[in-house]
């Protein structure tokens, strides 16, 4: 039990550290158009999940993610089972993206149907001039939605 608790504590600390960095680093390195383009990609994937459009959601994943999961159905099943709040968020709020050693991390605050608040740390990758989602890590937030 204590290992799980410590792991969650470290996850929360990592998320908090990234959010602090968001205010100081990245936005100055990313133009408004780039930030908007990334936000539209994340938003479009969330909307595709909301419609149960597995192919549409899979299309916004990077080639590495697509190769790893092979099919849209396998990808969507993994998201439903391991990232339920991403598959069906009750609310979402885009935070400021962070650039860390050349990697763009775009945090999105999500709440689930039970009111728990999470921060989804999306790793973004430019592929042939377009932004794609190369990964996502969920960090529980300390607040609860009202």
- Give residue-wise pLDDT tens across range 78-128: 999 999 999 999 999 999 999 998 999 999 999 999 999 999 999 999 999
The three-point CA angle 35-96-103 to 5° equals: 70
Q: Of 138, 64, 131, nearest to 104 (Cα)?
A: 131
Q: How far is residue 7's CA from residue 120's CA, in Å, rounded to a whole number?
A: 17
* Coil/strand/helix, residue 124: strand
pTM above 0.85, yes or no: no
Q: How many angstroms separate the CA atoms of 39 and 44, rounded? A: 8
**Pairing between strand 130-144 and 91-94?**
unpaired
Beta bridge partners, 117, equal 111
């Amino acid at each position: 039990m204590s290992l799980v608790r410590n792991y969650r504590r470290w996850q929360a600390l990592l998320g908090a550290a990234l959010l602090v960095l968001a205010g100081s680093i990245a936005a100055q390195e990313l133009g408004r158009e780039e930030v908007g383009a990334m936000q539209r990609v994340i938003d479009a994937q969330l909307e595709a999940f909301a419609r149960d459009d597995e192919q549409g959601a899979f299309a916004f994943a990077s080639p590495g993610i697509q190769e790893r999961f092979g099919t849209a159905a396998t990808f969507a099943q993994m998201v439903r089972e391991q990232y339920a709040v991403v598959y069906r968020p009750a609310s979402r709020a885009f935070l400021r993206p962070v650039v860390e050693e050349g990697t763009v991390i775009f945090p999105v605050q999500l709440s689930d149907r039970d009111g728990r608040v999470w921060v989804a740390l999306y790793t973004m990758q430019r592929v042939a001039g377009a932004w794609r989602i190369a990964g996502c890590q969920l960090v529980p937030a300390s607040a609860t939605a009202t």
